[in-house]
Amino acid sequence: MINLTQKERTLLQDQKSHEELCIKKYTNYANQTQDPQLKQIFTQHAQQEQQHLNTINQILNGQVPNINQQGQQNQTFQPSPTQVGMINQADADLCKDMLGTEKYVSSSYNTAIFEFRDHNIRQVLNHIQKEEQEHGEDIFKYMESHGMYQTQ
């Protein structure tokens, strides 16, 4: 059982609201997209965001979650080389919004990690942050493979 400071509790409440928003966005966007591949990415991310929310709630309840037993599937998006074609602007907008959201959420985890006294909690938050970055990478790869994101 851990005792959180008021600052740690406040930071976790912020992360909890970010995770709830991510779940809503990914779920809504999975229902809006016409591309089955993008639907799968958004659905998988929504499930992982739910796991993140559960983890944050455990910490708020004074527990230190074991990140090795969470059984999270870290499958990253692998684009096929023939996917570049006509850009679906609605899907591009959904992707841009989620990429921006993931950048923000990852950044907010970075701040929170530095504010925690407990090493194990820092490790758990770092694990979540890494997964948020992987979500951003999946979206980036999808966008790039569909001509929605130009790196040059």
Domain ranges of the chain: 6-65+85-145
Segments of the chain scoring below 70 in pLDDT: 68-86, 152
| Residues 113, 130: Cα–Cα separation, whole Å | 12
Res 82: pLDDT: 45
pTM of the predicted protein model: 0.88
Res 38: pLDDT: 96
> Do the beta carbons of residue 106 and residue 125 sit within 8 Å?
no
Res 86: pLDDT: 63
State the residue for tokens 């559960």.
54
For residue 8 the two structure tokens come to 């740690």
CATH 1.10.3660.10 fits 6-65+85-145, yes or no: no
